[in-house]
Structure 1
Amino acid sequence: MGRLALVAATVAIAATALTACSNGGSSSGGSTSGTSGASTAKVGLLLPDSVTARYAAADRPYFTAKMKSLCPKCSVLYANADADPAKQQQQAQSMLTQGAKVLVLDPQDGEAAAAIVAAAKQKNVPVVSYDRLIDSADLSYYISFDNQKVGQLQATALVDKLHADGVPAGSGILMVNGAPTDPNAAQFKAGAHSVIDKSGYKVLAEYDTIQWLPSNAQSWAASQITKFGTKIKGIYAANDGTAGGVVAAEKSGNFTPVPLTGQDAQLSGIQNILAGTQYMTVYKAVKPEAEDAAQMAWALLNGKSWSGATTTVSPKNGGTVKAELLQPVAVTAGNIESTVVKDQFYGSDSAAQICTAAYTTACTKNGIK
């Protein structure tokens, strides 16, 4: 990845890398009046991969709708890096060339994305670091969730479940962590270790999942199931995608499912919880995250401050960045209705999407309607 951080800011424009966002619905709040030029400005939204379902299903439409409500004549330029940091740098440069006045950037690689911030700074274009922290002190804002707390919630749920099931101290756990290039993954892992390391349970092995790919998680989990067998009493998985890979490995290896964590409340993860192949996930309310990022962009377009940035974070290379950190929520079968369904996380028909024929009985049992 080191060479990617050196990609020149003048990299050639990839003509097919970008598409203009649809306007989507509107949401309430915010003024539509702005300083000269702000009301017709272009705002860039760059997301990191297509593997994580929430980006296309939630982050992009929520951000676009809120931006539209704040600034009806503004244009949102959108790009997805498909897990390629070099491609993301090309996409960002293209947006700058097109005249984007603010970039909202969820980096595929937090270190490599510092080159994007530097290129934007040369054009006096502010950058909002979205969901993942970019390793640059030149950011205008950072918005995400308390990522260390995410790991703590996951590990606490796992440890408490093992205790409730009477699993004795000294028993083994696997850890399927996130991508090594994702700065959030390191925070999830640190939070999880802060709980697991003092739990009395033993980490048999752990793995940083390249590009968050479920197939990579599946291959690794399958090898560990072969190696450790019934010594494995619980599995920490950093998100629902990697958890899905673990579930596939358990099925193919005829291995009885053990308590398994996740994150993002993906539909597949929620259904795995109802099926009993996954124990929990972490719900992160993407709508306020995306909408507040749009508010940040609008404030920057108008030369104003965003009042919601109530804390600071420190990138690895030093300095501080104003930040808003939202609170994640642990979800098990018993509170699916009061979290993802109540918030219409998959739309107004969230319960119907969850409770397909295979999950009807479990939905009824857990009050999902």
Structure 2
Amino acid sequence: MNAIMRRALTGAMALSLAAPLAACGQDHQDAGAGKDSIGLLLPENKADRYEKFDRRIITSRVASLCLECKVDYHNAEQQVGTQKQQFDALVKKGVKVIILDPVDSQAAKSWVDAAAKKGVKVIAYDRLAEGDVAAYVSYDNEKIGRLQGEGILAALGSQAANSDIVMMNGSPTDPNAPSYKKGAHDVLDGKVHKIVYEKDIPDWSAATAKKKMSDVIKARGPQGFDAVYSANDGMAGGIAEALKSAGLKNIPVGGQDAELPALQRVIAGTQSFTIYKEVRPEAETAAEIAFRLLRGKKISSLTSTTATSSSKAAIPARLFKAQLVDRKNLKDTVVRDGLVRVDLLCADDVASACKSLGLE
């Protein structure tokens, strides 16, 4: 065989080998959408936690469990229609497991049910979506509401029985909001004088909470209430602004989520407490459940309880505990756990207050 013939044969063999390799690569890429992809749909980016913590932790945990896996992430920016488009696009791609934190749990029912019929496993994350979900990972939300109610009572102290309370509840489209409200009422009802104003705030809007708080101050006067229950920290920020604008001080305000501005308000004394929910165990558990479902493995060791929605009972679930954080235990909770850096927490106006708390 001469050199020309050898080169021709070698080239032909290379082409014959390259064709199936290229085909295999293409097959892997096409199959990857279903076989090796996990959808992650988060509801909004106003709250700090979703982009800074949930997304990063879930993505990192999936990567540690499965080198070839990919997280296909999208944020709905509080728009139901946008989230539906994102969900439908994942199903169309062939993604077989979706972690869904719904903007509107009721609206998600038809998408979830349709996807389940196609073999798609949906994990309801943080908020319990309606429909045929495969698992649910969140917190004991009624317990969080009770913690918030207990925080209000503690802040009022011996004056609680004579105190009038304003309640700014969460968004009516968030399935967790009624649980927070119920838990808070379970504690406050009969322990305070009266709930003088109560409102569900659409989209957890801080601006709306601020306006409603300003309206209450105008309608009832500065002596017309003694404390404000806020279902989350974002709204508590708006409420605190309204109180400050009216020149009101020493009004207990509660919140939830342990966001940096809220923690600074706790240090400054303009917010009495927040609720600390450790995102890492929730996010990592959701990631591991998603991986197991992707590979057809059992999840019973990760789901220690069950949950019930209005459309499905006995949903395998994992519900984590939360903790009230105030000035007394802030150092031994959110700072100790590394949720926030002390140099960021104690910047500017709260620097001197931090020193008095031993935060330096």
Q: Is the 8 A contact 1:154 1:262 kept in 2?
A: yes
Q: Is the 8 A contact 1:45 1:79 kept in 2?
A: yes
Deviation per CA, 1:279-307: give whole Å up to 9, x if none.
Answer: 00000000111111000001101111221
**Could you say what secondary structure the match of 1:156 adopts?**
helix
Does 1:250 find its partner at 2:243?
yes
252-261 or 103-112, larger mean C-alpha shift: 252-261
Aligned 1:254-333 pairs, distance under 5 A: 254-306=247-299, 307-333=301-327
**Could you say what secondary structure the match of 1:248 adopts?**
helix
Q: Is the 8 A contact 2:164 2:192 kept in 1?
A: no
**Could you say what secondary structure the match of 2:337 adopts?**
coil
Q: Which position in structure 1 is the counterpart of 2:331?
A: 337
Decide whether aligned partners of structure 1 residues 116 and 301 sit closer, same or farther in structure 2, where only a CA change above 3 A counts: same
Q: Which position in structure 2 is the counterpart of 1:226?
A: 218
Instruction: Supply the distance in 2 between the matched residues of 1:242 and 1:183 (Cα, whole angstroms).
Output: 17
Instruction: Supply the distance in 1 between the matched residues of 2:339 and 2:121 (Cα, whole angstroms).
Output: 30
- Letter paired with 1:294: A
Instruction: Supply the distance in 1 between the matched residues of 2:160 and 2:123 (Cα, whole angstroms).
Output: 46
Q: Which position in structure 2 is the counterpart of 1:100?
A: 95
**Could you say what secondary structure the match of 1:73 adopts?**
coil
TM-score (norm 2): 0.88
Q: Which position in structure 2 is the counterpart of 1:142?
A: 136
Q: Which runs of 5+ in 1 are unaligned?
A: 1-35
- Richer in helix (by share): 2
50-59 or 238-247, larger mean C-alpha shift: 50-59
Instruction: Supply the distance in 2 between the matched residues of 1:338 and 1:88 (Cα, whole angstroms).
Output: 38
Q: Which position in structure 1 is the counterpart of 2:48?
A: 53
Q: Is the 8 A contact 2:210 2:242 kept in 1?
A: yes
Instruction: Supply the distance in 1 between the matched residues of 2:356 and 2:233 (Cα, whole angstroms).
Output: 22
Instruction: Supply the distance in 1 between the matched residues of 2:304 and 2:345 (Cα, whole angstroms).
Output: 36
Select 1:204's aligned residue among 196, 208, 220.
196
Deviation per CA, 1:203-225: give whole Å up to 9, x if none.
Answer: 00111011001001001011001
* Regions of 4+ moved over 4 Å: 36-40
Larger Rg: 2
1:257 shift after superposition: 3.9
Instruction: Supply the distance in 1 between the matched residues of 2:319 and 2:33 (Cα, whole angstroms).
Output: 27
Deviation per CA, 1:19-43: give whole Å up to 9, x if none.
Answer: xxxxxxxxxxxxxxxxx97996111
CA RMSD of the aligned region, Å?
Answer: 1.6
Report % sequence identity: 39
Decide whether aligned partners of structure 1 residues 168 and 94 sit closer, same or farther in structure 2, where only a CA change above 3 A counts: closer
TM-score (norm 1): 0.86
Q: Is the 8 A contact 2:33 2:95 kept in 1?
A: no
Q: Which position in structure 1 is the counterpart of 2:154?
A: 160
- Letter paired with 2:114: A
Q: Is the 8 A contact 2:103 2:173 kept in 1?
A: yes
